Amino acid sequence: MTGADLCHFSNRAPDEENDQIGSTSSTPPGAVTPRPDLTVDKRLPGIIHNCIGQVRALNTPPQTPRSRSQEDTSHSGASTPSRTVVKDIKDIKTEGTTIGPVLGKLTIGISEGRGLRPSVDPYVVCEFQLSQYISEGPISPKESTNKLQNGGSGISIQAAAGKGRPMAIPMRSRQSSNSGRDPNAPQETTNPRWDHQAVFDVVGQHAEVDISVYDRTNQEAFLGHVRFCPSLKEYTAPYDGWFDLEPRDAGESESVHGQIHLKISFQKTDKKHYGPDDFEVLKLIGKGTFGQVFQVRKRDTQRIYAMKILSKKVIIQKKEIAHTIGERNILVRTAMTDSPFIVGLKFSFQTPSDLYLVTDYMSGGELFWHLQKEGRFQEARAKFYISELILALEHLHRHDIVYRDLKPENILLDANGHIALCDFGLSKANLVGSETTNTFCGTTEYLAPEVLLDEHGYTKMVDYWSLGVLVFEMCCGWSPFYADDTQQMYRNIAFGKVRFPRDALSTEGRNFVKGLLNRNPKHRMGANGGAKELRNHAFFADVDWEALAKKRVVPPFKPKLKGELDVSNFDPEFTNARAAALASGINASTPLSPTVQAKFEGFTFVDESAIEKQFADRSDDFSRTTSREEKDDDDWERVEKSDRMSGVYQSQDDIFNGRFED
């Protein structure tokens, strides 16, 4: 068997053929943004006069605290600063995979490297279909000897007669001897031995494997990477061989050299359905109104995922069934297409009491967490994130999905520093072309003015307004419309001026923000050409969009990670909690009636036969339900316009004109 039988290997080795942002909000954490005050005259001409002439104080505005979404919020009463949230759900082709039922397991053994750039603690990030494995550092010579003697889990390397492939050599024989060195001091190596193994759930026919090598002790220095497309066929023996490390761009060519040895195999699976028992709860990483988000380990593959667990009873009480099913459907729709910048849904299933969404675990954490620590980003770093977000939004809009909740809390970083958009709890599907929707939802600081003012509804253009707010916040450190009072924030969005700090953005960057923050959605950037209009802006003159779409642009920042279980990039408020104790009470709620259970039919992603049978066998004792449980859940879409009008009123066209101060 040749390597070509199993994989297409383009780079096979030749012999192988500071301070935190924010102040505490006046709104309690987890609270829903109040509807605009209806006790005042809705027209309020005096407010229009006052707001048009209003100028923000010369002092720097308070930096914006954390936003809250009802499905992904902090524990009520926590000390973490809070934003308030309103709750109601083709030119550049990105590179990804088609997602479906689990086909099998792809096993990649990462045994050793040779000829690498000298490093003290080299480790590996292995990515397949958006799932990532993060290794520990190289094993010591003693550990290597024990593994070889005990037949441990390491990958053995066979000699290839006539091909010049060396045998595995213990690390101590590779280290340069120097009697003057401290024997306990960290030693550099060019030939690390790892003996690590990553097992991935295969949910599509075609996808790349990307293996990157970094040095933990040298500011996450990049040592090289390997890319190949595995052939998903079963063979009697794994393929093993050496692979050349390659640079990510031309600027790294001189510093990248060496090879790594891999052992690759694929095994089919007949398992069609999954449940909570297939996962081990590790850490709490988020908590919301409807449930919690946990870091979990899949028992058979040991793969690390994020699992959102939603209480059916709470969903029913808050009349959010259609909304929750909508989130799942959007995740399935995006998972079955090919965007690398949208978090991937791997499994969804349910029990009589809860719903489960299992997605890829993004170990880099929330972008908000990094923005909170650093205050603001340099323009180049912000531009990188915004560029990848444009491709993510373009993908959603192309599939008739409006996102409606773009904010740093909903943007995750992976182990390499790329972004992934998550949490589709406020998104809406099937919004074709310039069609409008009228649901009042979103996070207050990011609401577009037409959501507040336009009685005819709004289009997908609201996402580009939110993107403009996000660019400003990343580069300036605060939201351009933030105020302690929600009603004042509505006024700022509708009429307030936007003032740019002198050193925050280039001229091109300011013009880009101004184009997105045009209060008239018909004149907003993107109204005529969609995402292509954004990509063609001078702000992105130095962006290679084709390379970016294939994740071939080097991220300006890489999260520091100790291993694949690392949760240091998530809020300690959650990660310090005892996840196992919290998870133990999840299934303890009172069973729901078959009629109510039927409302969740179709939630399971892989196979519903088991849960459907369980519901069918339920006793008729639960057949009587309350009128609240029986009520159709579609009324969350029917929000009267008067319910969301504040002391803002559209009385003349010129209120949509941009108001900026440089």
Do 82 and 28 meet the contact criterion of CB atoms below 8 Å apart?
Answer: yes
Would you tell me how many other CB atoms lie within 10 Å of the CB of residue 63?
A: 21
CA of residue 430 relative to chain centroid, distance: 22
Q: Check if 405 is active-site.
A: yes
- Tell me the backbone φ, ψ of residue 506, rounded to 5 degrees: -70, 170
Compute φ and ψ for 605, nearest 5 degrees.
-80, -40
Instruction: Indicate the SS3 state at residue 487.
Output: helix
E strand residue ranges, 55-177: 85-86, 104-114, 122-128, 131-134
Copy the structure tokens of residue 546: 């084709």
Q: Tokens standing for 328?
A: 């799942």
Q: Which of 215, 240, 354, 405 is catalytic?
A: 405
Residue carrying structure tokens 């709004």: 458
Count Cβ atoms below 10 Å from residue 447 Cβ, excluding itself.
26
Tell me the sheet residues that pair with 307.
Answer: 294, 358
**How many C-beta atoms lie closer than 10 Å to residue 451's C-beta?**
24
**Shortest CA distance to 105 belongs to which of 248, 285, 291, 232?**
232
CA 136 to chain centre: 23
In a 10 Å sphere around its CB, with 0-12 CB exposed, 13-18 middle and 19+ buried, how is residue 273 labelled?
A: middle
CA 291 to chain centre: 18
Q: Which stretches of 47-166 are assigned E, i.e. beta strand?
A: 85-86, 104-114, 122-128, 131-134
Of 606, 440, 479, 464, which is closest to residue 522 (Cα–Cα)? 464
Q: How far apart are CA 446 and CA 467, in angstroms?
A: 8
CB atoms within 10 A of CB 556: 14
Between CA 503 and CA 105 the distance in angstroms is 51
From CA 616, how far away is CA 613, in angstroms rounded?
5
Q: Is 560 annotated as a binding residue?
A: no
Helices 462-476 and 507-516 pack at an angle, to 10 degrees, of 150
| Residue that is written with structure tokens 């970016």 in the block | 548
Q: Interior CA angle at 466 toward 464 and 468, to 5°?
A: 75
Q: Which two tokens stand for residue 191?
A: 């030939």
CA distances from 422 to 250, 314, 330 (A): 32, 22, 11
- Binding residue ranges: 308
Q: Which residues are catalytic?
A: 405
- Binding residue ranges for ATP: 308
